[in-house]
Amino acid sequence: METPETDVHVYSVDNVRAQIGTAESETGVHSVRFYSEGGRPSRRKTDTVEDFFYYPSGGTIRDRELNILFYEPKLDKYHTSSR
């Protein structure tokens, strides 16, 4: 049984990193899957899993319509905190 700490579909910076470590990128964009609530990635397990997009050059997580949902400095390839 997966716990929130090991379930890669629970949104966290570590789980974004885990998913992009095994996913192919298309034109520098990674597709990631998370539990969702109200169309946004959820930090807890829900009944719905949706596709989102991670853009490493800006550290952003976007929805299927490419709206920016989160900016994560730790995921921004060019931000000083990720070096």
Backbone angles phi, psi at 67, to 5 degrees: -75, 135
The reported pTM is: 0.83
For the beta carbon of residue 10, count every other beta carbon within 10 angstroms.
20
pLDDT of res. 23 = 72
Residues, the chain = 83
pLDDT of res. 82 = 60
| Cα–Cα dist 69/71, whole Å | 7
pLDDT at 3 over 80: no
